[in-house]
Amino acid sequence: MTQTRLAQCPCGIRCRGYSFLTSRNFTNAYTYDAASNRTGFTDPESGSTTYSYDTLNRLTTLAPPSAFTTGSFGFSYDALSRRTQMTRPNSIATNYTYDNLSRLLTVLHQAGGSTIDGASYTVDSTGNRTAKTDQLAAVTSNYTYDAIYQLLSATQGGSTSESYTYDPVGNRTASLGVSSYTTNASNELTATSNASYTYDSNGNTLTKTVGSDTTSYTWDFENRLTSVTLPGSGGTVSFKYDPFGRRIYKSPSGGTSIFAYDGASLVEETNGAGAVAARYAQGASIDEPLAMLRSSSTSYYNADGLGSVTSLANATGTLVQTYTFDSFGKLTASAGSLTNPFQYTGRESDPETGLYSYRARYYDTSIGRFLSEDPTQLRGGINFYAYVKNGPVDFVDPWGLQCKQVTPWHAIPRWSNPNGRKPYTTIEDGFFFNFQGWDFMNSLLIDCDCTWASTHTRIRKFYREDIKEEAWFECPTCNGQTQREYRTRDKIRVREEDSAGQQFMPPVIKHTPGKLVQIGPDGGTDPNRTNVNCLCSPPTP
């Protein structure tokens, strides 16, 4: 049985979280400063991570628990608040450069003045990356796109390493080495020149057959993958989830893993007996692992501009594990024997199944598609299975719900709220994931928080602290009405404040459980006020 509890401080910010599992109970604790910046995080092993900020509320130091290291990570920024450097306890420094539109051009991991890993990019006028130089392999890949920016090819030197064609709705029809892909009217992939597939009535993949070998997939009523039965003597891999949809249990034939989280970020892995197998230090961005403690040894992550982990280094700064991926995430080369879950786009790889966990869904790099439909349906595009609209060089999808341009958190200028609250950013992360299918939510208060970001820009944010910390959303405008669609199962309440600070309730929006609803704030906005406060407090189990 799994139970999860969240405790809130008087100010409404999450201060403690509990997970009660069959073989282990986990507790996290949090502290904050007066500006609501997180200053401390205590993990399930009572390890303390501390955070420091500058006067603009930008993270400057992150000190992981002493079991990892005695040092800390440091962060530097330019005048536009773009991260320019990250330092590590193992003396590897990562340096970033940007063009005048804040698009990332280089991310170089350097030690002793030498570049040991990293990537540099060429970007066209539309923002698509047309070339990437892998600093570790010393190889440059050049990319071409069609008229709607789907990736067509990747070439290295005079050789084509990848090529793709698509139908009008984004289904892959051919690729290098696979002569054909067949899809039905529901955009379900039914066959390739190498394999065949079947589906259930909800669009979830049921079987994959290659020759005489069949892999079977089982799903629960919320369309979450619960098991994968591998062909031959491969056995069955089982999965379980907590009330927030986070995967907390994986049981392959080699042993059980139980996972603990800080929000959406994995921080600890234990075995079936409750003994710690690995601990992770996570950065401020989603899918930004910084360090891993496994078998009493600390390894430090290095990533490219997509967030894909390209190498890990030990405490002395020596690379002990490297990875090379094709554009859609297929592993093409690796060196080292380190056990590490975080690989392509910083997501968790399941070597037992060959799949990646993208939180809401699972992704198969061999076909460049998700195994199940997008829970947000048309919100993520007309093709419910396509991965990042076939633009994997330029987009990521950390939640398995909606792709976003690869603009790192640290590359987006941030402005301080005039009232001294947390700085604003326009990153769009996982809001739909948080609001779909939670049966215990009897009511929900949606934030509608506006302020002047600069003299020319207003930014609207939606804030969900107790489910996913810092899930910020950019709306089209703060001037007048704005409508957004959300999927939930229960009633929705919208609370606002007028310019005098008086709260009022716009009309309650009623809907059929499980359907999309639209929320349209019907009050004016004051650029110097916080107009709405959003909290969701689930009942105690």
CATH code at 375?
Answer: 2.180.10.10
Same domain, 68 and 109: yes
* 224 vs 271: CA distance, rounded Å: 22
Per residue in 96-130, pLDDT (tens digit) is: 999 988 899 999 999 998 999 999 999 999 889 99
Residue 410 in domain:
no
Dihedral Cα 154, 130, 368, 190, nearest 10 deg: -70
Q: How much is the pLDDT for 15?
A: 55
Same domain, 225 and 306: yes
Same domain, 149 and 197: yes
Among 174, 175, 139, 136, residue whose Cα is nearest residue 155: 139
What is the residue whose two structure tokens read 């020759």? 211
Whether pLDDT at 8 is above 90:
no
Same domain, 339 and 487: no
Range from 85-89, 374-378, 480-484 that averages highest in pLDDT:
85-89
What's the whole-model pTM score?
0.77
Residue 229 in domain:
yes
Mean pLDDT of 232-239: 95
Of 381, 405, 429, at which residue does a domain stop?
405
Q: How much is the pLDDT for 408?
A: 55
Q: How much is the pLDDT for 23?
A: 59
Task: Give the pLDDT band (50/70/90) at residue 184.
Answer: very high
Residue 73 in domain:
yes
Of 405, 438, 460, at which residue does a domain stop?
405
Same domain, 188 and 226: yes
Same domain, 363 and 492: no
Task: Give the pLDDT band (50/70/90) at residue 34.
Answer: confident
> Do the bridges between strand 369-370 and strand 257-262 make them parallel or antiparallel, or are there none, so unpaired?
unpaired
Strand-pairing partners, residue 449, are: 461
Among 155, 154, 192, 153, residue whose Cα is nearest residue 171: 192
Query: Minimum mean pLDDT among 74-83, 298-307, 374-383, 528-537: which range?
Result: 528-537
Range from 240-249, 422-431, 503-512 that averages highest in pLDDT:
240-249
Residues 51, 38: contact at Cβ < 8 Å? Answer: yes
Mean pLDDT of 307-324: 98
Q: How much is the pLDDT for 279?
A: 98
Mean pLDDT of 340-364: 97
Cβ-in-10-Å burial (0-12, 13-18, 19+) of 103 comes to: middle
Among 468, 462, 469, 442, residue whose Cα is nearest residue 531: 462
Same domain, 200 and 340: yes
Mean pLDDT of 408-436: 34
Same domain, 70 and 198: yes
Range of the domain at 317: 3-405
Same domain, 369 and 443: no
Same domain, 421 and 400: no
Q: Which residues have C-beta within 8 Å of that of residue 71, sequence separation ≥ 6?
A: 63, 88, 89, 90
65: tokens are 């628990």
What's the structural domain count of the chain? 2
Residue 332 in domain:
yes
Per residue in 360-380, pLDDT (tens digit) is: 999 999 999 999 999 988 877
- Of all residues in the chain, the percent with pLDDT exceeding 70 is 71
* 291 vs 67: CA distance, rounded Å: 11
Of 343, 371, 405, at which residue does a domain stop?
405
Residue 81 in domain:
yes
Residue 485 in domain:
yes
Same domain, 12 and 68: yes
Same domain, 278 and 317: yes
* 247 vs 23: CA distance, rounded Å: 16
